[in-house]
Every structure is written in structure tokens, then in C-alpha cells.
Amino acid sequence: MIKNTGIAKPKLKNFTSDGDNLRKVLPIIFVFIFLLCGCSEIEQKNFTINTYFKSDVYISTGQIDFSGTISYSEDGKLTLTVNSPDEIKGYTYTVKDEKVTMDFQEISTTYSISDFPTSAPIAVISKLLKEISLSEPKVKEQDGSYTAKVNGYSVEFNADGYIENIRNGDLHITFVQKSS
């Protein structure tokens, strides 16, 4: 038997047994979660994609790797000049209004963009840039990286809204923006 000593023992409240305390604490927890999650949502709404650019480009298809310079202007003209490997150095592809002009040394030929395989880097870049400028895809931000899915391709942007990478399977295209 317990002997009454006359000293009162303090009562500790248990959050799990007292529903009133839990009801008081949960809204505070949800407010903090909402505030923390809301920060990245605000950044997404202010994100602007810049599709007009000039940059260095590195392309890997799984079969060949090459590098060059690329630009896309407001009038919809895409130009890719190959710098390496030496076997194709100097090739210039210009896409405008669904026509591709290929220039090499003193030879120039023109094709329809639909004549190229859909996986050809020039066709992929042209189609994605057009799609991005027309539709403004939903961009997700995670840890300072911005990504969007466009026509099955993963497109990554830097904080200034310029494309940094395009990926799908073996195709990987990296853009390195030139400083102005």
C-alpha cells in the first residue's frame, strides 16, 4: 500500500493522452510546414525561361561526341557550328522556318527539318526550343536546379532561365552560356 506523505507530486501532461493539447500544437506545425514549402513555390512563379541565347554546346549521342557554338535568335533562327571532332569541324547548320541549311566549306544544301531523324541533335534542339517558346512548360525547382519535361526530354535551366542541359536516353546536350 502507498503511504500518503502529504507532498504533492507534479502532474505531467501527456500529448498523446490529451487530445486538446495535440489540437493546439498541430496547427502550429502545419503553419511552419506551409511556410517552408511556400518559399520554393514563390520562386517558381517568378521564373522566366530565356530561349534566345548564344553559347558553347557539347553533344553526346551515344555514338558520337561533338562540340560547337549555338545561337537562337528572336526571329526563330537556330545556328549550330561544329568545332570538333576535326572530321566535321566547320559544318554549320542553320534552321529557320522548318528549313535546314547545311554549309561546309563552299558547299551549301537545304533540307526540310522533317528529313532529319527525330533523334538528330539539330532536330531535337529545334523542336524543343520552339515548344518551350510557345508553351512555357511547367518548371520545377529543387535545390536550386530548375527542370521541365518537354516532349519526353528532361530540360534543365540555370537560375537565369537559360537552358543548361537536354537529356533523353543516350542523347545529352550541354549548353555553356557565353558571358556578355
Q: Is the pLDDT of residue 163 over 70?
A: yes
Name beta bridge partners: 112: 99
Q: Nearest 5°: phi and psi at 102?
A: -105, 120
For the chain, how many structural domains are there in total? Answer: 1
pLDDT at 40 over 50: no
Whether 40 is covered by a domain: the verdict is: no
Q: What's the angle, vertex CA 165, arms to CA 145 and CA 40, rounded to 5?
A: 15
CB-CB contact of 145 with 22 (8 Å): no
pLDDT band for 17, please (50, 70, 90 cuts): low
For residue 112, being part of any structural domain is answered with: yes
What's the predicted TM-score (pTM) here?
Answer: 0.71
The answer as to whether 36 is a domain residue is no
Query: Can you tell me whether residue 86 is helix, strand or coil?
Result: helix
Query: Which pLDDT does position 42 carry in this prediction?
Result: 34
pLDDT (0 to 100) of residue 71: 95
Specify the pLDDT at position 21. Answer: 62
| Residues 101-131: tens digit of each pLDDT | 999 999 999 999 999 999 999 999 999 998 9
Task: For residue 160, tell me if it sits in a domain.
Answer: yes
Residue type for position 128: L
pLDDT band at residue 95 under the 50/70/90 scheme: very high
**Bond from prior residue into 85 cis (ω within 30 degrees of 0):** yes
In a domain, 128, yes or no: yes
Q: What is the pLDDT of residues 125-158, one digit of tens each?
A: 999 998 988 887 889 988 878 999 999 999 999 9
Which CATH number covers residue 91? 2.50.20.10
Residue 130, in any domain of the structure: yes
Assigned domain for 152 exists = yes
Is position 19 within any domain? no
| Spatial distance between the Cα atoms of 123 and 21, rounded to a whole number of angstroms | 62
Range of the domain at 111: 53-177
Contact 111, 120 (CB under 8 A): no
